[in-house]
Structure 1
């Protein structure tokens, strides 16, 4: 089967940059993709729905003997995220620290360590860094207090001055090192995830419900060959929520003309699923695990510290469905195979860059190629099977024969 028309529905993670910056990155990476494979790929400018919650653009791609057109939807949530990051620094710090220690005492952090020690280190990192900065600020404030005391300043005044200096110095460090540490951003992410699990963010639930209705309408009306719902990072659990709620609205969703495929990449399901209160979320995972009309692929990479690897999104949550299980298909992605060797050693230590490689252009042809998933002629189900898909996309006759034999 060749795909001629594809509909991508992209669900972003907890990223405040939003539509403008994402589209610029997409357009740049699309050019790299075309150059890598020697194909022509063009994209339109973004258009935004009247309610402002969904933007989309269209992509035309031409290969050696194939042509595809893609509608690419970008589901927008950056307004919520930007509001979170606008909160006062001290509110963010106190809330995040309190939530982290609640997770420690509840045993959730220990479960993170058991499921993926790399992710556990990552989620603990901002709290360790915060402690180090607080110790440094306290040391400077204490030294100033001693100096003021030696100068004969009354005791209550030197203590008050030290407290003010501590607060000011720590605030300055948090604010002016944020572009390098991402500490406040990661703390805000912790707060949001916890509040989302505990259903304290009704505005998110209402928007997810609207996205679910949009998916139902698209499946009924689309002339696409396949609809691919892509959830990156925290968008992984948001996309499963959207799809599960859409199935509740229309149990025959996956039986309309377009094949419905869920692609979760760089996923971090346990940051929601490991909370005791997340019964509905685990029920949604169970429903998707047993839904034969939906294909679900979960792509993970050991090199990405922001995803859980290796992790089974179903069994890892203690969900048992026996022989009824048909999803997800777990795909291990080795970034070493898609990044040029001379770039890899530098690439591997840029953790946010590694995390975003899931949605960026490859440097080497490979079965996992986000832009081939978006623009290529091969359905996602066959795309991730390997050589045959790459051969069709590049026009490699010998490789295509090998793939056909497989």
Structure 2
């Protein structure tokens, strides 16, 4: 039986776990400030941001007035961008070695073939850096060959000079591509997929240590004077949140009469990890969390987001759904309906931007509003108490690997 909770929230703690992102967390504050103001104008409520005192985690205060009710939310970003940066320090040859190892892990394990049964979009997104990096290498080799051939036309000595010049030009072109990766995202995405594939789905020790710190922060919030503690996991942050919350509950750190505990997963890519052979820990946590009464878990994706496994129940498709499964509630943010035709046309091919749309304003909002969820007067449980799951969700087992113990 679920715990009873107050229906009105005046104080809330929000913990945001980003995806694989090396950028400073102030980016999320500025995104919240800009998009929250836009959503407030569209939806007719008030929202204001103010600085939070210095603490272990980067954060800000949100004061909102919705239908005459005042709410204060304290938002904190649970940072692991330093770990991400460390994993992105591979050289150009090192990145190509990552490409080979990552492709081999997903192909040889059969994970890639099974992921394609779910959604083509995120699989294409995963293959994009492979194709882009190989294309960059081919262009560099073509440049080397052209300079070598040009030199060879003037004799063998000139040919050797052309080959040397071509080698310099080849390296320079590859470095140029890497320097411009803010536009191409090939290296970034390659490092992202390689990070999980390197350990075949297991968490590196540094990440496990950081997740323990996340658990401590959430546990402390559950003893504070608030009505709801909300954990938001976006993209790769969703599967980190699954494990953090599972550990929290297993450790008995959720007070029986404490604040409502809620989990909102957005744009999740859980199958990219849970389908790997050594993701025993994640699969066990998915199975455990899906049956717990201590929290409410809502999973929001959208078919318009080509980087997420839209409407794929992360527990069921991973093949670990227990008989008493109750979470997550899976439904769509329906970008094509909640964004006007003009706005959708503007964003349609900006794939990376659409992956962050869950954190942004909608000009035709329906029942999903990130700012009402994080700063409004209603708990996540009450907001979606009568919300049915999307009929088009995928909730059948697909993963080859379903073991939950190493």
Q: Given the two structures, how large is their TM-score scaled by the length of structure 1?
A: 0.88
Q: What do the CA deviations read for 1:77-96 (whole angstroms, capped 9, x no partner)?
A: 11222233343233223223
Measured after TM superposition, the shift of residue 254 of structure 1 is 6.1
* Higher-RCO chain (CA-CA 8 Å, sequence separation at least 6): 2
Which of 195, 204, 208 is equivalent to 1:205?
208
Say whether 1:366 aligns with 2:366.
yes
Distance 2:242 2:319 in 1: 17
Alignment of structure 1 residues 1-400 onto 2, 5 Å: 1-49=7-55, 52=56, 54-154=57-157, 158-176=162-180, 178-195=181-198, 197=200, 199=202, 201-219=204-222, 221-250=223-252, 253=254, 255-322=256-323, 324-384=324-384
Distance 1:87 1:128 in 2: 19
Distance 1:338 1:190 in 2: 30
| Aligned residue-pair number | 380
The structure with the largest helix share of the pair is: 1
Distance 1:284 1:239 in 2: 10
Q: What do the CA deviations read for 1:121-145 (whole angstroms, capped 9, x no partner)?
A: 1100111112222222211211111
Distance 2:198 2:258 in 1: 37
CA contact (8 A) 2:261 2:296 kept: yes
Measured after TM superposition, the shift of residue 150 of structure 1 is 1.4
CA contact (8 A) 2:151 2:160 kept: no
Distance 1:103 1:197 in 2: 9
Q: What do the CA deviations read for 1:130-187 (whole angstroms, capped 9, x no partner)?
A: 22222222112111111111111336555454444323322323323x1221111111
Measured after TM superposition, the shift of residue 245 of structure 1 is 1.3
Pair 262,64 (structure 1): closer, same or farther in 2 beyond 3 Å: closer
Flag structure 2 segments of 5+ consecutive residues without an equivalent. Answer: 1-6, 388-406
CA contact (8 A) 2:215 2:247 kept: yes
Pair 273,254 (structure 1): closer, same or farther in 2 beyond 3 Å: farther
CA contact (8 A) 2:136 2:177 kept: yes
Distance 1:279 1:200 in 2: 10
Greater mean deviation of Cα atoms: 304-313 or 332-341: 332-341
Q: What do the CA deviations read for 1:213-262 (whole angstroms, capped 9, x no partner)?
A: 2222221x122111111000111011111111111222x61633211111
Q: Given the two structures, how large is their TM-score scaled by the length of structure 2?
A: 0.88
User: Partner of 2:25: helix, strand, or coil?
Assistant: helix
CA contact (8 A) 2:202 2:278 kept: no
Q: What is the alpha-carbon root mean square deviation over aligned residues?
A: 2.0
Pair 184,27 (structure 1): closer, same or farther in 2 beyond 3 Å: same
